[in-house]
Chains A and B, each alone.
Chain A
Amino acid sequence: MTGTPSTYAGVADVVAVLVLLTEFAMLRAPLLRSQVRLYAFQSFVVTVLAIVVAATHHIPELYALAAFSLALKVILVPGLVLRLLRDADTDLAGSSTLGVASMILIAIAVSAFGFFTVGSLQVHSNALPTSALAIAAAVVLVAFVLIILRSDVVSQAIGFFSLENGVSVASLVVASGLPLVVDVAFLFDLLVAVVVFGVIMRVHHGRGKTLSTEELDRLRG
């Protein structure tokens, strides 16, 4: 077994674990509103990670990135989705295919898969905590589980957004010196996704008076 990680690596790992735990919390959150808030919290944690990396590796650009992600992912996007939700006037997510406990167990199995796959890649870097990379992969996989198992537009949108958070964590810990432009491009990708999902939510709710996607597999003449 490897020895004790350094304090920086430990903190980065704990922050990454926090991101993963929020992802799991989203999986079980029954209220759509609380899911959006969890997403805001998760984005905040990612921002904190950016600041930690910036401070320990002396990369001032990351502060700018942190500011961007704070403005966009913590304030703007959740605010927008909450507003759409208020217009849609639905609180509860539709019943998911599985019970909460079994969803969590599936997600644990999936994230274990992510952990071991990334672990077997043998990626080592001096700057970075290896386990944070594995955790980021697990975040992405659990986001997929969220998208697949929850059958409402909001959960799926939030799953997609939080998938981007997982990618952010990965890019922060693997390539903290990644040019700012690339990172910001990621963020604008997210903005496009927000617009698309906003339109989907609006249109779907306007047509079907519901946010559930279960109605979508029926053919309409």
Chain B
Amino acid sequence: MGTARTALRADGLYMNVKFVEVRGLAATVIAPQVVQALQVLTILCGAPLVSGIIAHMEGRLQGRRGPRILQPYYDLIKLFRKENLVTEESSWVFLAGPVIAFGCYLIVPLLIPVLTTFGLPLGYMGDILGGGFILALAGFAVALAGTESGAPYAQLGASRAMTFGALIEPTILFVVFTVALITSTDLPYALAATVRSSASEIVRPGHVLAALAFFLVVLVDTGRIPVETHSGTLEFGMIDEGRTLEHSGPALALLKWGSAMKQLILYTILINVFVAPWGLAASGDVGAVLLAILALLGKAVVVGLVFALIDNSFSKLRLFKITEFIAAAFLLAGLGVLVFFAGGG
């Protein structure tokens, strides 16, 4: 079986060999299509929960009681009941933006290993770059909607988000290059399988550097502290938050839900591709899939706590110092590629 495994890995498509382990009589297997739908549902329904737990723990860390864990759900329900207010100047783009972004965030979980170690039917529809493009499209739609509002702060936020998004792009590309060099593919499943395969894969510098760089990318993209204060109302420091200032009602609900989903998607990529791809379901077994859902949410909360700790221990960088932060992320990703070329990094 060992040879079969390596042969499959060399192909880049790491399919699990012991696909269904018949355990007694009742090994109920879920169809891959259903598992795939469950991936989207996990992200969709779990994202506000993860955000809620992080916000709660953050409050605790700051000596406050913190909001209720389920607060994001209540917020969403409240916002969905309200009406959409649209300024006279804005066109349909203002309302279409949040919907497009939300749709994008629903597509990405199809492409990444959320619950399973094996590729699902639509999982090979796009590689890491494809997922990145869809996330970028979502960001673009939100920025466009923000610009369309005609309000100065929303436009400021949109412009800044696009600027810093463009600056962080080379880092993302180099992380993808490192992944591609290590696995000879650019499929997230392949890297996760490589990381699981042995301890030496975890400590190889190329992987460590890429994982660190991606960690910083997540920090920038989720708008956490060295880059942006995510909770607060000071418009001058806003980047991502600023874009949504003019939206209200269901559109705002979609934006908030979308940003929670984006956060969980990025955490999922960080966890299940780079840092800790354990606890995923190796087969379509009901128990394994349920366990994978719980494991994912648990790991996401742990990662979220790390981010909350960073949030509480550092101060926000001045806007013009953010380029330095991004240069540091690029340094890590660039070194990852270089070390690899220097000899088996």
Q: Which residues of A contact B (CB under 8 A)?
A: 1-7, 9-11, 13-14, 16-17, 20-21, 24, 28, 100-101, 104-105, 108, 111-112, 115-116, 118-119, 129-131, 134-135, 138
Contacts and interface: CB of A to CB of B under 8 A. Distances in A.
Given A104-B328, A104-B331, A115 B341 contact: yes
B334 A108 contact: yes
Given A14-B203, A14-B208, 12 more contacts: A3-B344, A10-B204, A14-B205, A17-B205, A17-B335, A21-B332, A100-B324, A101-B326, A104-B324, A116-B341, A118-B342, A134-B339
A131 B331 contact: no
Interface string B301-328: 0000000000000000000000110111
Given A3-B344, A111-B338, A134-B343, A105 B327 contact: yes
Given A101-B324, A115-B342, A130-B343, A11 B203 contact: yes
Given A100-B324, A101-B323, A111-B335, A10 B343 contact: no
A13 B201 CA distance: 12
Contacts of A112: 334, 338
B327 A1 contact: no
Contacts of A100: 324, 327
Contacts of B199: 7
A24 to B, nearest CB: 6
A130 B205 contact: no
A121 B299 CA distance: 44
Nearest to B339: A131
Interface centre among A105, A115, A129 (most CB of B within 10 A): A115
Contacts of A17: 205, 208-209, 335, 339
B324 A10 contact: no
A4 B201 contact: yes
B331 A6 contact: no
A137 to B, nearest CB: 9
27 contacts: A2-B344, A4-B200, A4-B201, A4-B204, A5-B344, A7-B199, A10-B205, A14-B208, A20-B335, A24-B328, A100-B324, A101-B323, A101-B324, A105-B327, A108-B334, A108-B335, A115-B338, A115-B341, A119-B341, A119-B342, A119-B343, A129-B343, A131-B205, A131-B339, A131-B343, A131-B344, A134-B339
A4 B328 contact: no
A20 B335 CA distance: 9
Contacts of B335: 17, 20-21, 108, 111
B345 interface: yes
Contacts of B202: 10
B3 interface: no
B203 A115 contact: no
B342 A135 contact: yes
- Those 8 A-B pairs whose CB atoms lie nearest each other, nearest first: A130-B343, A134-B342, A10-B203, A2-B344, A131-B342, A131-B343, A13-B205, A7-B200
B321 to A, nearest CB: 8
A4 to B, nearest CB: 5
Nearest to B336: A17
A5 B199 CA distance: 11
A173 to B, nearest CB: 11
Contacts of B201: 4
Interface in B90-113: none
Contacts of B203: 7, 10-11, 14
A11 B203 CA distance: 6
B200 A10 contact: yes
Contacts of A2: 343-344
Nearest to A123: B343
Contacts of B342: 115-116, 118-119, 130-131, 134-135
